[in-house]
Each structure stands twice: as structure tokens, then as C-alpha cells.
């Protein structure tokens, strides 16, 4: 079997926008190197100073070097019908794959990662960086952080791994059905084996034990593994950093969603985007003027005693008010969306029934305003949403009091039979903050239950 041991240097920035500045390929038959190719590459973009300090490759060095398309045929021919081997293989492979993709070519090779192989065949090291392993194995690196020096050292490391592979680890990694072949390079398989197949929340951590991603799952193990097959750049970047995974069982999908949302807002993980926002700053409220007309308006939360709902920005609050205006045919003037007008523009296009120009009674208008208010938020005064617990003898629940989400918790099955009122569940609740995302989750759940 032939192997091509590859190392590249790049302009940095992970996968996104990174371009190759140097490439080295050692064609290895398992015993000796049978061919070699090394070249600087013009990345067609600026090399940042910190990358130059790391690799020694300057903009002047690559100015007259071939561009990737000029060496692409050589790279394709050398790696064809061979196993692509690299230290942290996903990094090198995906950068090269992206370069070929930009040329309209689908670069696809079998892969082996010397980080993952070393963890199995040379266990017990404090670090599995190339420098650390080579120090432990007395493998010289003639040019650290240069493509040829690192590729040559990786080739020698791989030769020793082949020699010591008494348990056919490399064959199992090459088996497409082997889960080992897809795991992130820093992650131990034992962490995956320990995951349960049930509802819950999982946490990806980096080598510094920092949580970099929080997710929810109906099947924790299955969902975690699915990340490793994701071809999106965000997932690939994240997988390179995953060194550990932990979890918390929740018993149900709703409680997993609620817990996930709270954890994201508490931890602010690096790779969470959707709910990783600062605290809400704007609220919508209502009041009655001297004519008895009920107004809807928005303002900063600290200036509103009892908002009916909260938002992360003024734009979000206005957008929701505009949607309420349209749905319930409310007047933009009395929703504070059109100011300094005697009658609103919406009346002219027949989207307002004329409360602003005395064409509609206050009683009729206020009925629609109250319907709009009722549609906002969770829509329930006091409510206990009962769910399955983490064990057979447990009940999970989410608690809403006075229309405000209070949190979730768990109670013994026998104890739950003695709890008569929603207020009684406060003794068992894990207090959580109410916010727009939580309201969205609970409203969607309640609406689904009605169907």
C-alpha cells in the first residue's frame, strides 16, 4: 500500500480564507520514501506577520513561487491511489480539498491521522503535538513549522507507528465503518463510548477545558457523532479543537431545549451563534390614554415596570409590533410606529379601521389590542408543563408563574402526586431567566401539543 505523508503551511485563519504558502509530499511505501515533492506556493494574498514569525515564510519568498493551480496536477498525481496521511489530517486535507474545489475538481482520498494513531499506539503522552511526540521518540525535525521538515518527521513517526501496530489499529482506521476514522484528532474514543443514547445537553471542550459548544439532543451519542461528519467549515474548525465531551441528561426534548438555551447564555461558547446574544434591552408594554385607547409601545427595559415581552434590540421590538399591527389591524399611531400624524397611513390603504380618525369605536379597537397582547409571550398565567424525568421514578417539569418562565426541575414521582398547585413546584425548580428565546421554545411546544 502507498501512503502520501503531507504537510502544508498556510496564511492562517483556520479553513476560512486560508491559502497554502508551502506544501511537502512524501510518497511512502511503508518502509522507504519512494518519491518526494516540496514547493513554496504563492497564496495570492498577504501573509500576516505572526505567520511569518512562526514559519519564516515571507511575502517576498512566495512572490515568484508557483500558484496552486500550477502545481495542482503534480499534487493530484502523487496522492492518487494512495492514503493521505498527516498530523491533524483534517486540517491539511480540507485546505487542499478547498484549493481543488476552487479549481472545479473534487479531491477525495482515504485519510489517516497520526495524532489519532499515536494516541492508540503510543498512549500516555502529555501532548500529541508533532513537536512533543518527536521529542518523546527522539525524531529530529529539520525545520519546524516548515512543510518539508514537518512532513519528513511525520513520515518517520508514521513508519514507527506501522512497526508497532500489533493490534491492526491502522486497518481499523482505514475501514470506512470505523468510528475512529471520523473522530476529532484530540478526542479520545472513550469519551464517545461513555455518551448515553437519550435526551440531554452535551458540551464540547477544548484542551484547556473551556466549553466551546453546547448542543441539545434527543439521542446524545448519535447527535455528537453527527458533528464529525459535517462538512461545513464551522464544524470542521470546531472539530479540530474538541478535546473532550461531557453531557447532562434531561429526560425530554423540551427540557433539553430549555437547558441548552440557558447554558448558551450563561457560558457564551465560541461556536454557538443563534442564541449567543447579550441580555435583552428593550420591552413592549401597554397603557391606556385619556380617551380610553389602549396603546402598545416599546422602550428600554429599565424604564418599563411590567413589559409584556422583551427583545434584544429596538429593531426586533419594532418588527414584532409591525407584525402585530398587520395581524390584528391595529393603528401604527397607537403602536408608536408612526409619530406626529393626525391619522395613520395604514387607514388610507385600509389596513387600519380608523381609530386614529374617529372612524372606529374605542371599544372595538381595544378588543383587538387585547387579542394582540394575549398572543404575545407564553400565553399562560400559571402552568406546569410535566415531562418525563431522567429516570422512571422522576417527573421533569417547566414552571410558568404569572406568565413568566421560572425554570425547570425534577421531582420524585410520589412527591409529584402531592403537588396540587403550580406554586408548589417552586421548591423543586432550578431558577432560570425568562427571555425571548425561552418564550419561543415554550410557545412552539404548547402550539404543537394543541395540534
pLDDT at 122: 94
CA 425 → CA 385, 398, 401, 404, distances in Å?
Answer: 11, 9, 10, 14
Which of the four pLDDT bands, split at 50, 70 and 90, describes residue 380? low
pLDDT one-digit tens code per residue, 355-368? 998 899 999 999 99
pLDDT at 14: 62
Asked if pLDDT for residue 6 goes beyond 90, the answer is yes
pLDDT one-digit tens code per residue, 273-320? 766 666 667 888 999 999 999 999 999 888 887 788 878 788 888 998
CA 196 → CA 201, 209, 218, 224, 384, distances in Å?
Answer: 11, 21, 10, 10, 27
77-91, 182-196, 354-368: which range is least confident on average?
182-196
CA 326 → CA 216, 319, 368, 370, distances in Å?
Answer: 35, 11, 11, 15
The residue with greater pLDDT, 375 or 262, is: 262
pLDDT at 117: 94
The residue with greater pLDDT, 413 or 172, is: 413
Classify domain 3-180 by CATH number: 3.30.420.10
Percent of the chain with pLDDT over 90: 65
pLDDT at 32: 95
> Could you give the CA distance from residue 184 to residue 56 in angstroms, rounded to a whole number?
29
Would you kindly state where each structural domain of the chain is located, as residue ranges?
3-180, 189-267, 282-375, 383-450
pLDDT at 277: 62
Q: Does residue 266 have an active-site annotation?
A: no
* pTM attached to this predicted model: 0.61
Which of the four pLDDT bands, split at 50, 70 and 90, describes residue 396? very high
pLDDT one-digit tens code per residue, 222-239? 899 889 877 777 888 899
Which of the four pLDDT bands, split at 50, 70 and 90, describes residue 92? very high
Asked if pLDDT for residue 446 goes beyond 90, the answer is no
Which of the four pLDDT bands, split at 50, 70 and 90, describes residue 176? low
Asked if pLDDT for residue 397 goes beyond 90, the answer is yes
- Secondary structure (3-state) at 48: coil
Is domain 189-267 in CATH 3.40.50.12780, yes or no? no
Annotated catalytic residue: which of 87, 145, 227, 259?
Answer: 145
Q: Give the H or E element holding residue 314.
A: helix 314-328
Amino acid at each position: 500500500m502507498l501512503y502520501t505523508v503531507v504537510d502544508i503551511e498556510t496564511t492562517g485563519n483556520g479553513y476560512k480564507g486560508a491559502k497554502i504558502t508551502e506544501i511537502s509530499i512524501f510518497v511512502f511505501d511503508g518502509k522507504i520514501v519512494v518519491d518526494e515533492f516540496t514547493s513554496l506556493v504563492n497564496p495570492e494574498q498577504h501573509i500576516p506577520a505572526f505567520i511569518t514569525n512562526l514559519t519564516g515564510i515571507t511575502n517576498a519568498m512566495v512572490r515568484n513561487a508557483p500558484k496552486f493551480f500550477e502545481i495542482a496536477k503534480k499534487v493530484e498525481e502523487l496522492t492518487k491511489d494512495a492514503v493521505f496521511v498527516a498530523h491533524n489530517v483534517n486540517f491539511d486535507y480540507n485546505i487542499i480539498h478547498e484549493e481543488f474545489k476552487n479549481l472545479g475538481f473534487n479531491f477525495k482520498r482515504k485519510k489517516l491521522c497520526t495524532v489519532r494513531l499515536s494516541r492508540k499506539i503510543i498512549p500516555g503522552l502529555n501532548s500529541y503535538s508533532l513537536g512533543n511526540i518527536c521529542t518523546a521518540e527522539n525524531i529530529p525535525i529539520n525545520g519546524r513549522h516548515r512543510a518539508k521538515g514537518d512532513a519528513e518527521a511525520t513520515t518517520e513517526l508514521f513508519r514507527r507507528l506501522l512497526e508497532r501496530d500489533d493490534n491492526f489499529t491502522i486497518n481499523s482506521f482505514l475501514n470506512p465503518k470505523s468510528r475512529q476514522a471520523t473522530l476529532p484528532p484530540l478526542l479520545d474514543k472513550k469519551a464517545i463510548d461513555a455518551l448515553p443514547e437519550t435526551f440531554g445537553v452535551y458540551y464540547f471542550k477544548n484542551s484547556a477545558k473551556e466549553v466551546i459548544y453546547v448542543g441539545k439532543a434527543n439521542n446524545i451519542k448519535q447527535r455528537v457523532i453527527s458533528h464529525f461528519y459535517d462538512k461545513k467549515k464551522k464544524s470542521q474548525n470546531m472539530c479540530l479543537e474538541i478535546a473532550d465531551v461531557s453531557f447532562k441528561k434531561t429526560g425530554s426534548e423540551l427540557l433539553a431545549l430549555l437547558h441548552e438555551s440557558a447554558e448558551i447564555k450563561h457560558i457564551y461558547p465560541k461556536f454557538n451563534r443563534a442564541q449567543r446574544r447579550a441580555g435583552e434591552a428593550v420591552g413592549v408594554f401597554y397603557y391606556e390614554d385619556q380617551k380610553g385607547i389602549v396603546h402598545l409601545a416599546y422602550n428600554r427595559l429599565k424604564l418599563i415596570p411590567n413589559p409584556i415581552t422583551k427583545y434584544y434590540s429596538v429593531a426586533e421590538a419594532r418588527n414584532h409590533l409591525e407584525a402585530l399591527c398587520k395581524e390584528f389591524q391595529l393603528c401604527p399611531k397607537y403602536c408608536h410606529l408612526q409619530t406626529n400624524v393626525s391619522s395613520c397611513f395604514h387607514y388610507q390603504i385600509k389596513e387600519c379601521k380608523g381609530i386614529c380618525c374617529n372612524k372606529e369605536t374605542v371599544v372595538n379597537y381595544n378588543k383587538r389590542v387585547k387579542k394582540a397582547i394575549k398572543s404575545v409571550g407564553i400565553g399562560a398565567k400559571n402552568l406546569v408543563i410535566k415531562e418525563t424525568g431522567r429516570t422512571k421514578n422522576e417527573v421533569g417539569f417547566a414552571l410558568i408563574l404569572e406568565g413568566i418562565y421560572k425554570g425547570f426541575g425534577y421531582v420524585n414521582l410520589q412527591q409529584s402526586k402531592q403537588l396540587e398547585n403550580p406554586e408548589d413546584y417552586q421548591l423543586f425548580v432550578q431558577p432560570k431567566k425568562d427571555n425571548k428565546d425561552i418564550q419561543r421554545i415554550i410557545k412552539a411546544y404548547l402550539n404543537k401539543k394543541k395540534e
